[in-house]
A and B are shown apart, each in its own frame.
Chain A
Amino acid sequence: MTIIFGVPLAVFMGQLMLGLINGAFYALLSLGLAVIFGLLKIINFAHGAQYMLGAFVAMLALEYLGINYWAALLLVPLVVGTLGVVIERLILRRIAHLDHLYGLLLTYGLALILEGTLINIFGVSGSSYPTPEALQGGLNLGFMFLPTYRAWVLVAALVVCGGTWFIIERTRLGAYLRAGTENPALMQAFGVNVPQLITLTYGFGVALAAFAGVLAAPLYPVSPTMGSSLLIVVFAVVVIGGMGSILGAIITGLAMGLIEGLTKVYYPEAANTVIFLVMILVLLLRPAGLFGKEA
């Protein structure tokens, strides 16, 4: 059996793969946070709850409406994203002129309400979502066994991340977003309906979280607390990458997943803290983050 740095290749690759999958979720979630922060300047603390809601809605839709995984992958982000639009229109817009700290507190409160309500109804133990039939089983790559669903998650997350990057960096709509981030008042003076742009951006960011939630449903137990535990790590990822950088969010997300995976191989005790150690290092050396612009 091949040995890499004293670890069997299959174990090494397996952990690397797990790390990459986690990284894909970090990337999707920190991307949504970055998109929202860019235009709204709000740190969306409800992001974890919205991710959880994605998984939950997918599960309930399957159970009560018979909506399958593939339909859920499209419909759930739409439904949860629409909820985001409603939240922005009814609540966030009213505090947009206040210090951004209020937005953080408000979204945190929303997350607590959402989680608390679902815990009351469903408890914390969580349930499982069946892996769609077409994605069951796995591939034997020779050096490791790759479950098909994990490969799919990685591909889907990368495609969505890449698509989002393309829209923001290479299209006209993206140019509106970038310019609106810099100078919303001038964008209005050019005839762009900035409040509408903000609403749609928040809805899109929330939809990204819900999409990640649906992807996660067959992998992890679907429980009301699944988002809050993940979100702390995602915030660390965002700090490392630099707030508001799209590409930074994606690359850092994947990289941190990998680092976490590698740590699990060589020093499992530190696996849960390594990202925070990286965060401390980055804050000491590059306070604006690896991809952030110095203010």
Chain B
Amino acid sequence: MSQAAQTLGEYPERDGAEMLRIGDLHAFYGESHILHGVDFDVKRGELVTLLGRNGAGRSTTLKAIMNMVGRRTGSIVINGTETLAMKPHRIPRLGVGYCPEERGIFASLDVEENLLLPPTVRSGGMGIDEIYAMFPNLYERRRSQGTRLSGGEQQMLAMARILRTGARMLLLDEITEGLAPVIVQALGEVLVKLKERGMTIVLVEQNFRFAAPLADRHFVMEHGRIIEEISAAELPSRREHLNTLLGV
């Protein structure tokens, strides 16, 4: 049996089952209360976006899922497992890949070391050849120091390294921020390919024009909670309403 089919066995893609369910999630950094009861769910194979203005709590939501914030209450169920009490390093092993806003490329590692760094969490990840085929620039620069890459290449690297691990749900934080349009377009093509492979994706995005054609559903955040859910089908009719919410 091919590896892809095995993965399919383990994760029946797009069967409508929940990959992620967040219920009444509160998160705190020290004394400050950042998330005030976030509720949403993501189905297997779905691509959803978290939209909102700066400081609405979108990045914090991703960090809270990874248990990277101070204190959390509520519920975060990943693939049927409640993770609120889990240690941070256990969460990726449920098949979650995280790409932080600051990209987190390691300066003391070269490109290939960066790429090979995250441990494999599940079978069925992309092979290194497959990854280099998807990101040819990275292959050419595999011996360069990680932080010597251009912003776009660093972003490609930050994405590429979580594809190797076998993660089935990707949490991507502002991946198009500060990148040239041609790179943004390339990233869009990568996301389409990942979706075709059945990857579940949660995208925190400022660039709505980038996110709109890719996403199945959009969640709008404000003041640390979800205030609106808009499906791709509803989008044309509610575009103006959404623009008001986002203040664009």
Residues of A bordering B, CB below 8 Å: 172, 175-176, 178-179, 181-183, 185-186, 188-194
Contact = CB atoms under 8 A, between A and B. Distances in A.
B89 A175 contact: no
The 3 A-B residue pairs with the shortest CB-CB distance in the complex, in nearest-first order: A191-B92, A190-B118, A188-B88
Main secondary structure of the interface of B (DSSP, over half): loop
A188 B106 contact: no
A194 B106 CA distance: 16
Nearest to A190: B118
A175 B146 CA distance: 13
B159 interface: no
Most B CB atoms within 10 A — which of A176, A178, A179, A193?
A179
B68 A192 contact: no
B100 interface: yes
Nearest to A178: B108
B117 A190 contact: yes
29 contacts: A172-B116, A175-B109, A175-B117, A176-B117, A179-B106, A179-B117, A182-B106, A182-B107, A185-B68, A185-B88, A186-B98, A186-B100, A186-B104, A188-B68, A188-B89, A189-B66, A189-B68, A189-B88, A189-B91, A189-B98, A190-B92, A190-B162, A191-B92, A191-B93, A191-B118, A191-B121, A193-B87, A193-B89, A194-B89
Given A179-B109, A190-B117, 12 more contacts: A172-B116, A179-B117, A182-B106, A182-B107, A185-B68, A186-B100, A190-B165, A191-B89, A191-B90, A191-B92, A191-B119, A191-B121
Contacts, number: 58
Nearest to A172: B116
Interface of B: 66-68, 87-93, 98, 100, 104, 106-109, 113, 116-119, 121, 162, 165
A191 to B, nearest CB: 4
A210 B152 CA distance: 47
A189 B113 contact: no
Most B CB atoms within 10 A — which of A176, A181, A186?
A186
Nearest to B103: A186
Contacts of B162: 190
A99 to B, nearest CB: 16
Most B CB atoms within 10 A — which of A179, A188, A190?
A190
Nearest to B62: A189
Contacts of B91: 189, 191
B92 A183 contact: no
Contacts of B68: 185, 188-189
Contacts of B119: 190-192
A188 B68 CA distance: 9
A128 B116 CA distance: 49
A279 B117 CA distance: 36
B168 to A, nearest CB: 14
Contacts of B87: 193
A192 B66 CA distance: 13
B92 A178 contact: no
A192 B89 contact: yes
B56 to A, nearest CB: 21
B169 to A, nearest CB: 13
A178 B88 contact: no
A178 B118 contact: no
A193 B89 CA distance: 5
A64 B93 CA distance: 48
Nearest to A184: B88
Contacts of B89: 188, 191-194
B100 to A, nearest CB: 6
Nearest to A170: B113
A95 to B, nearest CB: 18
B92 A175 contact: no
A265 B142 CA distance: 49
A49 to B, nearest CB: 30
A178 B100 contact: no
A183 B108 CA distance: 11
Contacts of A176: 117
B128 to A, nearest CB: 14
Contacts of B118: 190-192
A175 B108 CA distance: 8
A190 B166 CA distance: 11
Contacts of B88: 185, 188-189
A293 to B, nearest CB: 9
A178 B93 contact: no
Most B CB atoms within 10 A — which of A183, A185, A188?
A188
A18 B89 CA distance: 48
A295 to B, nearest CB: 13
Contacts of A172: 116
B113 A175 contact: yes
A87 B141 CA distance: 43
